[in-house]
Amino acid sequence: MATDIKMPQLGESVVEGTIAKWLKQPGDRVEKYEPICEVSTDKVNAEVPSTFDGVMVEIIAQEGETVEVGQLICRIETEGEGAVENKPAASADSVAPAAQETPKAKADTAGDNSNKHRYSPAVLRLSQEHGIDLTQLQGTGKGGRITRKDVLKAIEQGGTQPAVATAAQVPVPEAPVAPATPAAAPAREAVTASTTPAAPAKTGVVLENGDREIPVTGVRKTIAQRMVQSKHEAPHAWTMMEVDVTGLVALRNRLKHEFKQREGVNLTFMPFFIKAVVDSLKEFPQLNSVWDGDRIILKKNINISIAVATDDALYVPVIHNADEKSILGLTKAVNQLAEKTRAGKLELKDMQGGTFTVNNTGSFGSVLSAPIINAPQAAILSFESIVKRPVVFGDNMFAVRDMMNICMSLDHRILDGLMAGRFLKRVKERLEAYGPDSQI
């Protein structure tokens, strides 16, 4: 009998996934750890690998179909189980139809290199770790695709000589890629997280009027679904306060060069923003909660989700136990997550457990925003651009100050304006308390 492969659990709060692309078709041979399909969720993109050798016999869930966790997506016949592998040798007339079709499918793809430059995360990781030049290998997979076994064979043979690649020769992965760790769990549970920004949109189809139709990627579809869901389910309320961060700007300017030399990372405003948020969440734990059906759950841990944008997608990796970190610790955590996001190396654990989201929209010049809540969290807070402008200061005097808006969207099922306003005021007070000589 064929083995049922079901939609795996791709995160602690993920209940469904969308089949973005099938990498194997019925009749195709499947090798252990070889990806069989790409799945998109609201948290990550993932390739679902097989944990045994066999043959794909049936696809149940079609591309673009959203499937609940635990629901059947395909069937794979493992070696020794079915007619394809264990039929005794006999005359051509006595061979079962399935056994006749599989060799034919392989013959049809001989010389086909359509998938030669499509690399799975496992293949990329192995090649990078052992200095294997993938352009020098001949793939044995469908369409000339280089498999994990091809790379292992090259490693056993002493590797390949690195090629001097021109821009035209550098392979460009067509699918999101990230390091993969083979799992010992059943195939239905074995997944490889990938948050690499999708390749730039293809040229698309030119319409009759000259407009261009751009295909919607799996990541973009997932973002769209989650944003629509959040806006429909959570009644958004919005509030804003103005913050005088003149002292904070002076403090950062005083410390940034020494900090960079000593710690090796840039001192940005983001760690100060997060620190003000987590300290205020301790005073107002209602903000550190989630909506759960017909109840509200106050979260014990303070895990800050931070928005990290790529060219065509937005990810929200998590700083776990952010309230236990200093400005230095937060600086390193922010840098690490940003680098992992842009390099496509985020793991599932990096995306799980967030309790409150912080977004630095000011980094690209925004002065006002109304962010969409990262459901099921209670609120999201955006920090806008710091702008010098004249304000009334002191005893009826005008002065040029560094001013910034902080904008918060809140789930009105969980929070009311009074609680949200008090919380935002404490964030403001903490930021305004910094001075040129403050200690961090």
DSSP H helices, 14-166, are: 83-86, 97-108, 121-130, 148-156
Cβ neighbours of residue 397 under 8 Å, at least 6 residues apart? none
Give dist(CA 20, CA 1) in Å, integer.
Answer: 27
Q: Is 108 a catalytic residue?
A: no
Which residues lie closer than 8 Å to 197 by C-beta, 6 or more apart? Answer: 176, 310, 311, 312, 313, 342, 344
Write down the catalytic residue from 108, 211, 311, 416: 416
The answer to whether residue 292 is catalytic is: no
Q: What is the DSSP letter of 188?
A: T
Bond into 376 cis (ω within 30) = yes
- Helix (H) / strand (E) element for 223: namely helix 218-233
Catalytic one of 311, 312, 412, 437: 412
**φ and ψ of 239, to 5 deg:** -145, 155
Cβ-contact 66, 41 below 8 angstroms: no
Token pair for residue 188? 């239905």
Is the Cβ–Cβ distance between 176 and 196 less than 8 Å? yes
Quote the Cα angle for 157-163-164, to 5°: 165
| Distance of alpha carbon 99 from alpha carbon 42, whole angstroms | 40
Residue 153: HSE in the Cβ half-sphere, 13 Å Cα cutoff? 11
- Nearest alpha-carbon partner for 376 in 347, 415, 344: 415
Enclosing H/E stretch for 5: strand 3-6
Angle at the Cα of 313 (from 311 to 316), degrees rounded to 5?
A: 120
Antiparallel, parallel or unpaired: β 356-359 and 379-393 = parallel
Q: Catalytic residues, which ones?
A: 412, 416
